[in-house]
Every structure is written in C-alpha cells, then in structure tokens.
Structure 1
Amino acid sequence: MKIQNSQIIKDNRKRLLSVPPLIYLSLAFCTGIAFAYKIEVSFELISFAVAFLFMIYILTRFRGNIIFRVLLFFSLGMLFGIDSRNVSNSHVVRTHFEGKTTIEGVVVDDPEIVTRGKKETVSFVLKLDSFYEQGEIHRASGNIRVVLFNPRREIGFGERVRLRGMLEKPKRSTNFHAFDYSGYLAKRGIYRIFQGIGQYSVLKQIKEPGVSWLLTIHKLRVNAKKQLDRLLEKPYSDLAAGLLLGFRKNIPRHITDEFIKTGTAHFLSISGLHISLLGGFFYLLGRFFRIPRKLNLFLTMGLILLYCVMAGAAIPVLRSGIMGVMVLAGFLLGHERNLGQAFFFSFLLLLVWDPASLFDVSFQLSFISVAALVFIFPKIDIFLGNPPQIKNNIDFLARVRYEIRSTIQASLAVMIAIFPVLIWYFHLFSLIGFIANMFVIPVGNTAIITTLFLMVIALTSQPVAAFFVFVPEALFKCLCMIVHVLSQVPFGYFYLPVPHWSFFIVYYSILLLWFSSWFVPVYRSVRFGLIGGLVGITFLYFIFSSPRTFRFVVFDVGKTDAAFVQFSSRSNCLINSGRSFPGDQAYWTIQPFLSASGVQIINGILFSVVDGKHSGGLQTLAKYFRIQNIWYPRDTAPDKKIKYIDALSGPRIKKLPVAEGERLGFGETEGIEFIESGLRKGNVFHIFDGAVKILYLNSVLPEVFSSLIEIYKQKCQVLILPDHPNGISAEERSFLEAVSPQYIVLNQREGILSLRQDLKKVTKAVLLFIAETGAIEFYREGTDLLYKTVVDSSQKG
C-alpha cells in the first residue's frame, strides 16, 4: 500500500502539534471537575493553588507553556467542581426537616401538566425562601421539586406561591439497574421533593415582580404549547410540543420506547438538528425579503438565543445554541467556520455555568454525538473514499445517493462514538437504527418545518391554519407509523449487559488512535487494523459479557414478591411480574434489570399467585421481551386467568397450569419443583441448580411448615420468606432447625427488630431483610454461594 502524499501528511502533523488551546484547556477543566467529585479536597486549598498558579502565569515566562496552562485549567475545574457541591448553611439539605409543612418560594421553571383521566399532575421547580414549622417561619434556600395532584388552578413561571403538603427526601433506588430518581434530582441540585394534594394545597399565589422580558418569553412558550394543543390531535400535539418546545412529559410512553428501540431517541430531544432547521429557515426567509446579510445574521443569532430560552434551556439546547451563535458570529467577523472550536467553547462554557452537568447522561450523549459528527464523520467520509465534489453535483440522483450515504455514515459515526455509553445507561443496541434514521430525520424535519409554518399562519388567521393542519398532522402520523413498524422488526434491537470499566478504556483508546492516525504518516492497512481492533474488542465483549453461572435475584417490590433465576444452562425464569398499579413495577424495576443483564428471551414466567399484585406487569414485560412459557397454579380462578394470563396474546407463548409435585426442567440438573404446601394459596417452589438449593415460600402459616417437614428432607442454602404478621410459629422453628439454611431472605416491612431477635434464637443463618438491604443477588463463585445487595454492593458470603 502506498503512503499518503507527504505534503498532506506534513500539514496534518502540524495540525496535530498545533492543537487549538481551547481543546486541551476545556478537557483539562473537565478532568478537574471529575476529580473534584471523586476526591475530597478542601475549597481553600484549591483556591490557594489556583491563585498561586495564576500569579506565576502573570508574572513569569511560563504563560506560553502548554503543561502550565493545562495545570491551571485543571485546578480551575477542581475549584468550580468543589464550589458546585457546597451548599449554604440555610440550604434545605442542612435543615434536616421532613414531614407535613408549609413552604414558600418562587417558581423557576415552566410547570408541566400531565393529565391521565381525572387525575391532573402539575410539576415544577420551586426556589425555596422559607418554610413554616410549629407556627414559626424559618428562612431556607435551595431548589425543590414540587408535585401537585389536582390543584385545580394554573401556576405560572415566576409566581410566588405558598404550598401546604409533605416535604421529603427523594427515594433512592433499591433495585439493581433501576432508575435512581434521587440521583437524577441530585445532579440537578435538587435534594427534596414536595407533594401536595387538592386545591387547598396552594395557599397563596401572587405575581412576583421579576425580569419582564424573561417572563414574557416563558409566557410565549406556554402559549405556543396551548396553540399546538388546539391545532393538532393527541398524541401528535404532545410530540410536536416535545420536539419544538421541550415539553416531553406528555409524550406517550409507547412512542418514546419505540424511538429508543429504533435508535432514533435523539430526535425527541431538542438539539443542533432542530436549531439548524429553525435558524436556516429564518435566515432563508430573511434573504427572501432582501434583509441585509449582517442584519440577517444578527437577527438569526437573536432568534436562536430566544428559542433556547423558549425550549427550556436544557443542556442539549444550550450547547446547540452556543455552537450556532459562534458559527454565525464567525460569518459576521469574516472568519472561516470552525465547528471544532465552537464545539469546545460551548463545552467549556456550559461546564463553567453548571459543573454538575458533566455527570448528566443527556450532556454526555449530546456532546459525544456532536463530537462524532464534527471529528469522526469527516474521517469516515475520506476513509470510505467518498468524492467531496458529489455534494455540488447537479445530477439529482447522484445527490440523493450522496445524501443517503452521508446519513448512514453520520449514523455510523455517532453509533461508534456513543456505543459504550449507550450500553452503560440504556443496555440497548439498535441494528435497525441505521435504516430508521434515513426515514425519521427527513420526515421529522419536514413535520417540524410545516408545524412552524402552521404556528405562524395561526397568528394571523385561525381558519386558514385549521385548513392546513392536515399537512403536519399527516407527517407526524407517518413518523409514528415508521417508528412503530421498524420497532417490530425481529432482531432490530437487542439488550446488552453492563460492561466492565476496562472495556471503556480499551475501546476509546483504539478509537483515539484511529483518529490520531490521520495526522501522522501511516499505511492505510494500519487504519484497517485499528478498525479491526475496535470490532474485535466489541466482539469479545459480546462473547464474554453474558454470565455463565447461576444467579438468583430477589427484587424489592414492596409487600408483593418477585425474583429472577438464571441457571447454569443459561436458561432463565422469572417468578411473578409485579403489579402494574399504582406503579408499574415491571417497567420501573424488572425490565431495567433484565435489559442490563442482556436478557433477550424470558424462557418462562412462573406465577405463585395470579392476581394484580403478582401478575399485573405481564403485559408490560411482553412489550420488551419474547416470552416462551407461562406457568400458573392449576387452581387459579377462571376470572383471574382470563384477566391476566389469557389477555396476553401470542401464538408462540405456551400457557400451562402446574400442580403440586410437578417439575419444570431448565437443564440436566437445573429446574424448579412445585412442592405441596398443604394450602390452596400457599405455594412453595424448590429452585435447584446442581448443589444450590433454594426454597421460595409465599406463606408462613403453620400448615405450610408442617407439610414441608414431612415432604422436604434436604438442606437448603437460601430460604425466601414473606411477611410474618404473627411472629414465628412452632412449626416454623422446627422446619428451620431441619433445613439449616445458610441465608434467610425476609420481605418483612414492620416489626423487623423483634423478628430478627426471635430468628437468631432458632438459626445461625445470615438474616437479610429486603426493607434494609434492597434487592439481593445470589451468585455462585466456584463452590461458594455469595451475595450482594443494592445498599451495600460489596461481595459477601
């Protein structure tokens, strides 16, 4: 293979050695923030270090030294990171007050209203001023997430409100890989939530004098949403409001899930794509009306900034807005457009404004995606040998081919860059995404543009807007239909288990080497080798990521019960599917765990009882996984079977009743046995995998233990017990002495202390109360059976 032209190589080498300072300084600042969040360092010490370095920078000749600059910005990053974590003495976190109270403050974001039947939920962020305790006013500060149920009044941005209700800490996740609402709010500087019910939860509501132009913008945003609600049918009005204004809470869950499955979820968040469309449309409109170029650029910049505020000023919006304004400013100043510099400037500016955003998933995905388009996409274009002159080819078909190829290559560049981050957070990879983006982006863009036209027309004539409303509505229908059809394609997407941290280091190191190879003289085969290395490390991850050992997980689903078994044969079985109301446990607890475990197919779901508590989540799970078998007790009531089991359609799903004494095989030495319990609703499961034996009970009545003493003559490692409303019976004591379990897992919610004391008198087993530990995972390591919990993830045995 021939080496590339020497002159090009020299130019590229110069570009590599003369990296713009903004790039490495912003990366140093970012690293400093990360260190500040991981290492405890005093603010005073870092302040002194920054002052010392800055003084040296001003007074000495080191100001041109790259290493010195990096060190200075690294220290500045640590300083900003530490400062963002500090809270004042009056902060609500330091008050340690919880419970029923009255609070007062100012609404600092646009309230979002979600209506489900007769239930209306209004949520917003309140900047706290004070709270009332025992008739006394206490000054406080900090932001609080407020959720009001059926307040029956409209609350607006900038209003001062006094609210009565319950102040509490957000609950941390107690299940593996489940959504951590507490952590989500903490990243946004919110450490308390407030809930109020009914119209009397709002005691006072007055207009707070504030920045008039800011209030006007937020009023425009709310009015624009109302305009969309009047013009378009649901759910298309909700989809349009999410795409144009950032109101995403009302987008139906099934639509969001279908966008995720097809790899087009990025389209639902306002980003550079939407801002480019809006800015480009406005600029072309200005050219049509012959507005002078400089004035047109100024007006377009102003529109982009206005839109950023109207769209909610989220991280992707701000990043895209800053980049857009910088590019237009470059045109104004007569400089060549530099997307790389604009990218890193917006990166640095947002971290200065909010250092905590570095750990936000939307921030990470947004910047990695744009970095892929700015830096990796052009290299892929050259690597695949695409002639750049085709862009300006007058041949229509040639241009169409080029645009299709560019769309695929852009999707490939983004997918390569965000693949590790995607599987870390979402545990999903979409193969169909390359095709989906080819259709979703043009159809969605056209829908956005026509909706903007419609909103402009509606300002002058509502009847004319009502006549043309069919155009954007038809496009949104087409968009939803495309996403729905592609989400149903077999093997279009699949779940992947969470990777080891070393995978990130190796993956991104190879990617960085491939990118750097364009700036040094290398053979083309070297780049092919690096691509092969990237594919190889990913392939090895696929092979070795799926665990091949026995796992047994008990979920924390409140007073009901659910568990997951993965046998050594790699078959699996889910015991119960959780309830669907008031919270969908299958969606929020079980589905995230199964996805993060790389489960594609549920070999079987075994129900201990068929009712709303144990079987309500079955329909939800069927939307995400292929279910092969469903087993339910033979004595299940016909109405319950019709409601929960028969309601699930699917020709490949086997629905079989099981009776006491039957055995479900999952391998030569793996399976679940249905043990006779002596009660109609007192089912006992014996789970076995080689030497591992687990007993799963859903009743602690004396009759159950009397029956087990006669039937079960083995020792067991793990015993799963439900709530003990009346303490330990004599029959249970005898049974515990007979089976001598190594671990006892108890789903006890009250009276834990007394029950623990009683059990310690009977058994030497390790007592694990789910209310204290959260979900528990047992796994085999060699000949030992170990466990870990959500509260304390360290290995135990």
Structure 2
Amino acid sequence: MMGHNIKPEWVSLSLVLALATGMILADAFTLPLILWLFIFWLALLGIFFFRSRSRVVLAVCLFLVALVLGAGRLQLEANRYEALPHQAVGAKLTVEGTLQERRSTYATEKGLVGRYVMQVRRYAYAGEEDVQPGSGCAYVTLPEPQILGSTVVVTGDSRPLTYYKNDGMYDAFHRDREKAIWLRLFADDGKKVSVTAPLGRWDSFLQALRQALTGRYKAVLGESYAPVLASLLFGGHYDELPPGLLESFSTTGLIHILSVSGSHVALLLAVIQLMGRALGLRPRGLCLVSVSFLFLYGALSDFSSPVVRASLMGAASALSLTVRREYLAGHALALAMAAMLIYSPYLVFDLSFRLSCGASAGIILFQRPVSAWLSALPAFLRDCLTVCVAAQILVVPLLFSAFFSFPVYSLVANILVAPALDLVMVLGLLASVLSLLWGVGADMVLWLIKPLLALALKGNAFIAALPGSRFWGGQPSVLAVLAWYLVVAFGFCPAFRRRIGSGLALCLAAAWFLRLSGPEVLVLDAGRDQVTAVIYEDKSADIWYNKSRFANPDQAAVVVTPALRAQGVFRLRQCRVDGDGAGYTLALLRRHFDFLPEQGAEDVPFRCLPSASSAFPDGPLCLEFRSLAGWNGRDFPVSAMATIVYASRRGDEALTEWGETAAFHGRPCYTPGRDGQIRLYRWRGQWQVATFDEEQSWNIRNI
C-alpha cells in the first residue's frame, strides 16, 4: 500500500524524475523505437488491469510509463539528429542560414573573429549549383562584426564536431544535440560574408530594446557596473564582466544569480503585480499584463531553459492569483519540467536545467521542515537560511560533479550579499519597466542601484577572499551520489525511512570500501597537447606537459585543470612543461593548483618515452610514446602490457602500422584522441587500463 504520508509533490516530481531517467537510459542503451513503444503499451495495460487491485503495482506501472515515454522521446530525437545531412561534413560548402547566437569572440593574426550558432536553411557543395535543403544548426566562424538574427551566406571548409573525452569536461556532446548542431564551418579568408536578409521586425524590436536598456544602464552606472546589472537581469554579457567577478561569485555560491532563473521571474512578477495594483488594474487585466511581460522577458533572455521553466511556473502563479485558487508549486514545477523535456529531451543533460530544477524542487519539498529545524532563529535570518539550505539539498552532488567543490561560505553570502543583489534586481527590473514609460524615473532608480551594486560586489569579493572559502572534493562516485540521496530520503520522508535504512548503509559502506587507493597514471585527451599525470594516494600529482604551438594557449585551464580536479587532484608535486609557450602554461597551472615540495615518486608500471626510436624497456609495463618519429616499422615492445601513442599532424600512417603491429603481438594500443583519457590504476592487486568508454583488466601482480 502506498503511504498516505507521502506528499503529492513527491509523487508528481517522482514521475518527472522517471521521465528523465528514461531519457538517460535511452541515451546509454540504444534500442529500436518500436521496442520502447511495445513496453509503453504493456505498461498501459498494467495500469488498466491493476488500477483497482494493487496500488504498488499500479505505481510501478505509472513510473514505467513515464520512464518508457522519456526513453522513446529521446530515441525519436536521436533519430532526427542522425537524419541531419552529416554526409556533407568535410567538404567545402556554401551555406545560407540565420545567425542565432554569438558563442565567443577572439583575436587572430588576421583580425577579430567570432564563433556563432547558425540555423542552416540550405547548402551546396562549393562550385556546384545543386542546392540542398538544410536543417539543424552549425558552428560558423566569421570575421567580426556580425548582426544576430540576420541571414548570411558563407563559403568555407566544414569539419565534424569533436569533443575532449575526459572526466570533468562540460557536456558539449549533448548540448550540441539539444541544439541540433551537426558541423563546424570556417569562412574562407578574403571571402565576403554576404547578408541576404536583414533582421525581421520582431528581432529588430528585441535588439533595439536590448540596446536601449544597456545604453541607459551604461549612461548611469558606467562601463564597469552596467554589464553586471545586465547580466543580473537578463543573463549573458559574461565576457564584459570585470576580471575575477565570475570566480568570486562561483567561490561564494552565488554564481546562479548571474544566470536567469526562477528568482528573476518571481521578482519580475512582484514588480508587475505592485505596479498593476497601484495603477488600479483588474485581476484579469493584471494577469494578461503579467504573462505579456513574462514573454517579453523570456525573449530578452533568449528563452534559455531556466527562463522557460520559470516563466511557465510564473504564468501558472499569475493565473492562480486571477482565479483565486491554490497555487501548487510542486505540480507546476513538475508540469513545466515535463513539458520542456518532452519538447527538448536532451535538456535532461543540461547542467543549468538540472541545477535550476533541483534547487526549485528543494525549496518546494524541504522549505517547511528546514524552517521548523531553525524555528529558534529570528524570522529574517530563519527565512534566508531556510531558502538557502533547502535549495542546495538536492544539488550538492551536482555541484561537486560540475565544479568539484562546495562553497563553504554560501550561507554567509546568501545572508549578507544575496538580499542586496535581490534588491538590485528588483530596482533594475523596475527601472527597465519604467524605461518603457518614463525615462527620467528609470534614471532615478538606476542612481539608487549604483551604491547598492558596488556594496554587494565588494562584500562578495571580501567573502570569496576568506581562507578556506571552498571545500574541494572532486567528482563523487555513483555510489556516493546514491548514498547522498538516500540520506535525504531518510531524513525527510518518514514513509521510506525504515525501508531504505539497509540500502543506505550498504551504499555508504560500498562507497567507502570500493574507492580507489594507491598511485595511478592518467593520460589526458588534450588535443595536440600531450599531458600525463601520476596521481598519488594523497591526491597530489606529478605532471609532464608537452605544449603544442597549434593548440589553444589556454588548454591547461579549459581542459587539463577540470580533468585533474575531477580526479580530486588540487596539489602538484612536480610540473614539467615543455614546448611552445611553456612559461604561460606553467603560470596557468600555478594559478589553479597548489605546489608542494618535491617528494619521492612511487614506482608504477608505466614509462613515458619521447619517441619509439630508442630501445624498449623490458617487463610488463604500460609504455607511452609521445612520438613515433624514427620508428623502423618492425621492432615492438612485446613484453609491454599496453602502449599509448599519439597521432601526428602529418598523417596517421605510422600510427596505423603501430596499431597493426600491436594487434599482431596481442598487445592493446591506445590513442588519447580516439579513446579519450587513459587511466592505469591498481585494483585488488591487479593493474588495470581504463579508457573513457571502456575498461580492460590486466592480471599484473607485485610490480
């Protein structure tokens, strides 16, 4: 029997969780769509048959329906993505499309260029007149400046999408599938990018409104504070923020304020409700005005997933105020999440979507019990702490998985800084609305914002600079994540307390005893850079880094640092950097890691060799060859348990021959660019070689 103490919010949110779980399973295990449909109909028959016989079986069938619905929806979306014209990738193309989003801007030897997301309308192979209908989107690199929303024709080389396959990297793979991005296009040098269609009326209106608002902000707040206010209100503008601001907000746990979320929509609704009542609007008119402003606000924020979710909930809230019925936030959140996932199933992998929904669900589910625990505190302090603690209960594993740390002073920042920023956002939204009606009044409000914003930013920077402001932990294991959520269910759901006690103890014990111990070797997929780290039991490491002149100069910060932090490495014993720009790369590593005095190295069955031209070491070792130049094509380390080699810029002939020779001798051969990160570690006396996608065990003892 299903317990009567279970809150309705738990049921609706659990069904959405089952929907999301089905999407994750379908991504990991590809099955024919017809099979998902067959399981779906079986579950529906189970609901019909057991609807009045067994509540437990009925609940299982309901969850199964939601799970299979999610799996089938993602499989359908995956089939649509595979149907995009991938066969054109690699050729020189002429593509016509609409510029939707500017991803980055950077300087080159030939001037300033930008990377855009372009909606592909049609394309043709360069030099041919046969035009193919296009679909999906492309990353296109163009000379600056370009106007978002305009339709352009670009001729250039197309390349396939590539991803770094290391732990700790941002999930660009699923992000591109969410946006249906299927190729990269680089405009030819010297070729003019022709504009075939200017901005439409709606896009022109939005762009003019954005420029008018940001121009008013700059006129009053100046160049330093105007981008901060624009980012607080509408998200984006991150490349215009003052240096170090993003890092300080991340350190204090307030980084979510710089991306539009439910709190922004709630504040906007509060401003509209207050102004509407002051103007004497009737409930129906006020509801219409609120929904209209929510739509406009979503458009100004580019309809990002948190904005859409929060806007749907806000519209439900505004409607509930009109019809004077109870607004069930849990059901509204579940409905908004389900609608968004059904519309765009790859959103389930989006970090912003997960954090936003997790924090909202935490506030809905845990605000009352947490407030009861803090009942002895003053009302203002209790309310601030309650919202902060409740919002973080469900997202703690997500924070460690994405940022490898937890903000220690998050409660302090939420009590001292967040209220000031909330007031800044309320006044900023008020000024933005007034700018459409009364410009002088908007300027007066902006003058009030300036000292408040300065105080909030300086206070946040002070808290971020306090010692021990972050608790670093690395990425948690699957068992550790499961144990955390079992602890949450144990503490907040009495109906399951007795049932999950043994499972909780088992997960905690397994997470402790199954953790890796002893030294390990990590070879990273760093593009043209070559990075190898020996990680010791205390999670300090030695690094050998060969920097390529053809790679991103900031590769150490954007690829190597997150990969090592995901393994729990935050301290380095030795760091040897060779190659082009070695000094700059070493400075980046010193900025992100603590350096310890050199210590004695532990012996591991691994050798890193500069080339394959010299004599091979004997014994069951894992050998890494950073170059195959000079290899005679015949000799091979037959006693090695595995070899790791790199592809060269001039072709893969030597790499292919090496792989064939390794297969002939029955020895595995790995390549970081193909297999992703490669780990050599010891487990129960056996050394194992694991790649990003698969793991292979070697019975090597007492080495």
- Among 540, 543, 558, the alignment partner of 1:588 is 558
Mapped to 2, the partners of 1:550 and 1:59 lie a distance apart of 56
What's the counterpart of residue 653 of structure 2? 753
Mapped to 2, the partners of 1:122 and 1:756 lie a distance apart of 34
Mapped to 1, the partners of 2:294 and 2:11 lie a distance apart of 27
Distance apart, 1:100 and its partner CA: 2.1
Distance 1:449 1:111, change over 3 A: same
Mapped to 2, the partners of 1:720 and 1:358 lie a distance apart of 37
Letter in 2 for 1:665: Q
What's the counterpart of residue 282 of structure 2? 292
Distance 1:200 1:227, change over 3 A: farther
Aligned residues of 2:177 and 2:346 also touching (Cα < 8 A): no
- Among 503, 518, 527, the alignment partner of 1:549 is 518
- Among 500, 524, 536, the alignment partner of 1:567 is 536
- Among 163, 181, 190, the alignment partner of 2:181 is 190
Q: Spell out the pairing of 1:420-439 with structure 2 (5 A cutoff).
A: 420-439=397-416
Distance apart, 1:99 and its partner CA: 3.1
The superposition leaves residues 541-578 of structure 1 with CA deviations (integer Å, 9 ceiling, x where unpaired) of 99668743111122333444332112356543223485
Instruction: Please state if 1:181 is matched with 2:172.
Output: yes
Mapped to 1, the partners of 2:444 and 2:290 lie a distance apart of 29
The superposition leaves residues 724-755 of structure 1 with CA deviations (integer Å, 9 ceiling, x where unpaired) of 4444599xx7xx88x96544433341454336
Distance apart, 1:332 and its partner CA: 0.9
- Among 610, 615, 621, the alignment partner of 1:717 is 621
Letter in 2 for 1:191: W
Distance apart, 1:591 and its partner CA: 0.9
Aligned residues of 1:182 and 1:191 also touching (Cα < 8 A): no
Aligned residues of 1:232 and 1:469 also touching (Cα < 8 A): yes
Aligned residues of 2:117 and 2:138 also touching (Cα < 8 A): yes
What's the counterpart of residue 414 of structure 1? 391
Mapped to 2, the partners of 1:504 and 1:364 lie a distance apart of 15
What's the counterpart of residue 95 of structure 2? 103
What's the counterpart of residue 137 of structure 2? 144
The superposition leaves residues 517-541 of structure 1 with CA deviations (integer Å, 9 ceiling, x where unpaired) of 2x79x9xxx99x98x998x999979
Aligned residues of 2:234 and 2:259 also touching (Cα < 8 A): no
Instruction: Please state if 1:779 is matched with 2:695.
Output: no
Mapped to 1, the partners of 2:312 and 2:655 lie a distance apart of 60
Letter in 1 for 2:468: F
The superposition leaves residues 45-93 of structure 1 with CA deviations (integer Å, 9 ceiling, x where unpaired) of 5556767987999999889985565555555434433322222886223
Instruction: Please state if 1:335 is matched with 2:304.
Output: no
Give the TM-score taking structure 2 as reference length.
0.84
Mapped to 1, the partners of 2:269 and 2:304 lie a distance apart of 18
Distance apart, 1:592 and its partner CA: 0.7
Distance 1:54 1:175, change over 3 A: closer
Distance apart, 1:284 and its partner CA: 0.9
Mapped to 2, the partners of 1:454 and 1:493 lie a distance apart of 35
Instruction: Please state if 1:665 is matched with 2:599.
Output: yes
What's the counterpart of residue 448 of structure 1? 425
Mapped to 2, the partners of 1:516 and 1:357 lie a distance apart of 28
- Among 78, 81, 89, the alignment partner of 1:85 is 78
Distance apart, 1:225 and its partner CA: 4.2
Q: Which of 1 and 2 has greater Rg?
A: 1
The superposition leaves residues 484-539 of structure 1 with CA deviations (integer Å, 9 ceiling, x where unpaired) of 3322222221222322322333322332243222x79x9xxx99x98x998x9999
Which range moves more in the overlay, 132-141 or 572-581?
A: 572-581
What's the counterpart of residue 622 of structure 1? 590
Instruction: Please state if 1:360 is matched with 2:350.
Output: yes
Which range moves more in the overlay, 281-290 or 745-754?
A: 745-754
What's the counterpart of residue 691 of structure 2? 789
What's the counterpart of residue 202 of structure 1? 193
Letter in 1 for 2:340: L
Distance apart, 1:473 and its partner CA: 3.9
Mapped to 2, the partners of 1:469 and 1:79 lie a distance apart of 50
What's the counterpart of residue 295 of structure 2? 305
Q: Spell out the pairing of 1:236-635 with structure 2 (5 A cutoff).
A: 236-252=225-241, 254-385=244-375, 401-455=378-432, 471-517=448-494, 547-568=516-537, 571-576=540-545, 578=547, 582-602=552-572, 604-607=573-576, 609=578, 612-629=580-597
Mapped to 2, the partners of 1:280 and 1:163 lie a distance apart of 45
Mapped to 2, the partners of 1:357 and 1:621 lie a distance apart of 33
What's the counterpart of residue 684 of structure 1? none
Mapped to 2, the partners of 1:13 and 1:782 lie a distance apart of 43
What's the counterpart of residue 636 of structure 1? none
Mapped to 2, the partners of 1:511 and 1:753 lie a distance apart of 55
Distance apart, 1:113 and its partner CA: 6.4
Letter in 2 for 1:186: R
The superposition leaves residues 408-428 of structure 1 with CA deviations (integer Å, 9 ceiling, x where unpaired) of 222222222111222223221
Aligned residues of 1:172 and 1:181 also touching (Cα < 8 A): yes
2:493 match: secondary structure: helix
What's the counterpart of residue 40 of structure 1? 30
Distance 1:503 1:137, change over 3 A: same
Mapped to 1, the partners of 2:640 and 2:470 lie a distance apart of 41
Give the TM-score taking structure 1 as reference length.
0.75
Letter in 2 for 1:554: V
Aligned residues of 2:10 and 2:365 also touching (Cα < 8 A): no
Distance 1:573 1:300, change over 3 A: same
Aligned residues of 1:151 and 1:200 also touching (Cα < 8 A): no
Distance 1:51 1:207, change over 3 A: farther
Mapped to 1, the partners of 2:472 and 2:158 lie a distance apart of 38
- Among 156, 161, 184, the alignment partner of 2:148 is 156
Unaligned runs of 5+ in 2: none
Distance apart, 1:313 and its partner CA: 1.0
Indicate the RMSD between aligned Cα atoms, in angstroms: 4.3
Aligned residues of 1:115 and 1:121 also touching (Cα < 8 A): yes
Which range moves more in the overlay, 249-258 or 546-555?
A: 249-258
Mapped to 1, the partners of 2:548 and 2:441 lie a distance apart of 48
Distance apart, 1:369 and its partner CA: 0.6
Letter in 1 for 2:396: F
Mapped to 2, the partners of 1:377 and 1:182 lie a distance apart of 35
The superposition leaves residues 72-126 of structure 1 with CA deviations (integer Å, 9 ceiling, x where unpaired) of 5555434433322222886223x3432321111234x354664669624252331
Mapped to 1, the partners of 2:677 and 2:64 lie a distance apart of 43
Letter in 1 for 2:85: V
Distance 1:99 1:251, change over 3 A: farther
Mapped to 1, the partners of 2:114 and 2:476 lie a distance apart of 37
Distance apart, 1:177 and its partner CA: 2.8
1:616 match: secondary structure: helix
Letter in 1 for 2:341: L
Distance 1:596 1:304, change over 3 A: same
Mapped to 2, the partners of 1:693 and 1:293 lie a distance apart of 74
Aligned residues of 2:381 and 2:415 also touching (Cα < 8 A): yes
Distance 1:565 1:295, change over 3 A: same
Distance apart, 1:627 and its partner CA: 2.0
Provide the aligned length of Structure 1 versus Structure 2: 688
